[in-house]
Amino acid sequence: MEDSAIIELYWQRSDTAISESERKYGRYCRKIARNICTTPEDAEECVNDTWLKAWNLMPDKRPTVLSAFLGSITRSVALNLIKAQNRLKRGGGETTLALDELAECVAGRADPQREVEERELARALGRFVGALPREEKQVFILRYWYLAPVEEIAKTLGFSTSKTKSMLHRTRKKLKTFLEKEELC
Amino acid sequence: MLNSFTLLQAMNGIAARDVAAAGRLYISGDAKKHGGKRLFALALAAALLLGLGTAAYAVSRRIALKDGAFIFDGESYPTVSFEKTDSEPLRLGVWDLGEIPAGFSAVKSYYRGSEARTDYQNDKGETIMLLYQKPTGQVDSFINAAIASKSEVEINGGEGVVYVAEDGWTHVFWTAAERGIAMRLSVKGDYDAVKLAQSVHETGTAPRPDEETLLALHELGSWQADVPTGYEELISYGVAGDYGYIYRIYENAAAQELEVYYERSVSDLEGYVAYYRSGNSSYGAISLNAVTVNDCDGWLATSGDGEAHFIVWQNSEYNMTFRITADALTSEELLRAAQGTYLCE
């Protein structure tokens, strides 16, 4: 079923919306959840929560890109779950590694008095990533949005692992500069 | 204080289109040279309850309007389909209501190259939905509402059908015969749906950019390339701010894409192309040949067999970096498109 039809079903409060979402995007959301969660059971719970949250969000929301909308919900649910489980530093898989990598972007001239609003930060990140060259953008999104292992990214895009790591390193350096310039860290 | 977890969470601010594009590569393994077409074959949502197994065709010049049934979990949902019977139209165009009932205004819209939709609402929450698309293949859908009546109509020379649903909605489906566009208008309440449908007309070739894109165009300027004959602009979008950029997407009748991208220069040209020179890009090994574009330094990227991929140059006067990427242009055509780039007033 096409995306607009699935969205229409959500708006009409039809149960079919959930089964159609599962049918079309279950694999997609499961992949995201499994990259973040520590156990398959947790990942499954996150995917099920995704359909429920999508059900609650539509209406009023009418997503322009349904896959990203559902994936974004899965991602948030999974990140919140492992945060609640306090597993960030205790075997959070790719999440732990990604957090370690991103730590270099937020270290530096930090002002402990300043609470960065996540929405402001999200908007800034949208601008930053949007301006990256296409391949650099793809690598960055696969690593820090999908939490994909570096090896999988390299395989997906046809790069060597070392090149992928090198690209990520360069982009993180750019991100650090960007965040400092924006006074977000 | 910002921590890495907050940063990770805030990645949700990355544009949905970029996330979806990367996801298509990652989840499906469907790696594509140009990042995927922006043409999405999206269904028209229909509201139908028809006799099972019946089929009635109303053939227009280019597409067929067809009744049918969709079976899901043992239940049958009546459908209306638009089936392409001839070559699809080159462009979707922009369509709008000619007569908008008093009190209604457009509240939501989207435009995706092959499908567009606008919702109008009034203070009472009554809605008129106009949805139109290029029939890139069979498209059909359904809703859970019984249909009270069905009648055939002619809408501006195109075959059409009207369904009145028991939930108060009226749905008109028709084909804009001359343009080969599949149309749908749905309205709830005491409004003449057929009259509204008859007022729908084409108002332009490309959608008005959204607010963010307009701001980016204001900041960066509206630059146009000299695209070859046969290419139509599908959509422009951009992001404003320090790292702002603009994309303009064009397509020809053979669905070959041309993309014009520009941004404020964030590095020197050597630094910009170093990434491609390293072989890191999805183009793989390419040759970069120095070119001059209107007295500005640039590089033309070609593959080993001479196929042109993109041209990039920097205009120091405007501190702007441009890139034109094309599926099927020769080096000469790319260079011509680049040299014809101009700033619209």
Q: Residues A48-86: pLDDT tens digits? A: 889 888 888 887 677 878 888 999 999 988 888 887 776
Least confident range of A36-45, B80-89, B152-161, B239-248: B80-89
Residue of A nearest to B110 (CA): A64
Angle at the Cα of B38 from the Cα atoms of B269 and A5, rounded to 5 degrees: 155
The size of the A-B interface in CB pairs under 8 A is 200
Contacts (Cβ under 8 Å, ≥6 apart) of B262: B220, B223, B245, B246, B320, B321, B322, B323
pLDDT at B312 over 80: yes
pLDDT at B173: 86
**Burial class of B156 by CB neighbour count within 10 A (0 to 12, 13 to 18, 19+):** middle
Least confident range of B24-33, B209-218, B318-327: B24-33
Residue A12: which of B26, B144, B241 has the nearest Cβ? B144
pLDDT at B35: 30
pLDDT band at B59 (very low <50, low <70, confident <90, very high): very low
Cα A144 to Cα A159: distance, rounded to the nearest angstrom: 17
Report in angstroms the alpha-carbon separations of B342 from B137, B244, B333: 37, 19, 16
Average pLDDT score, chain B = 75
Q: What is the mean pLDDT of residues B78-92?
A: 62
List beta partners, residue B315: B320
Q: Which two tokens stand for residue B153?
A: 């109509």
**Burial class of B189 by CB neighbour count within 10 A (0 to 12, 13 to 18, 19+):** middle
Of B188, B156, B35, which is closest to residue A135 (Cα–Cα)?
B35
Does the beta-carbon distance from B11 to A144 stay under 8 Å?
Answer: yes
pLDDT at A144 over 90: yes
Least confident range of B40-44, B254-258, B317-321: B40-44
CB distance from B102 to chain A under 8 Å?
no
Q: Residues B234-277: pLDDT tens digits? A: 778 777 776 678 888 887 877 677 889 898 876 778 777 766 66
Chain A contacts of B117, Cβ < 8 Å? 4
**Mean pLDDT highest for which of B33-47, B82-96, B240-254, B268-282?**
B240-254
Does the beta-carbon distance from B239 to A126 stay under 8 Å?
Answer: yes
Least confident range of A115-129, B110-124, B140-154: B140-154
Q: How far is A4 from chain B (nearest CA, A)?
A: 6
**Mean pLDDT highest for which of A85-89, B86-90, B339-343?**
B339-343
pLDDT at B9: 83
Q: What is the distance of C-alpha B227 from the center of its chain? A: 18
Q: Is the pTM of this model over 0.95?
A: no
Chain A contacts of B301, Cβ < 8 Å? none
Q: How far is A39 from chain B (nearest CA, A)?
A: 20
Q: What is the mean pLDDT of residues B95-117?
A: 81
pLDDT at B45: 29
Chain B contacts of A141, Cβ < 8 Å? 11, 14, 18-19, 22
Residue of A nearest to B15 (CA): A126
Q: Which two tokens stand for residue B262?
A: 């520009």
pLDDT band at B278 (very low <50, low <70, confident <90, very high): low
Q: How far is B317 from chain A (nearest CA, A)?
A: 21
Of residues B278 and B11, more confidently modeled: B11
CB atoms within 10 A of CB B87: 9
Chain B contacts of A59, Cβ < 8 Å? none
List beta partners, residue B303: none
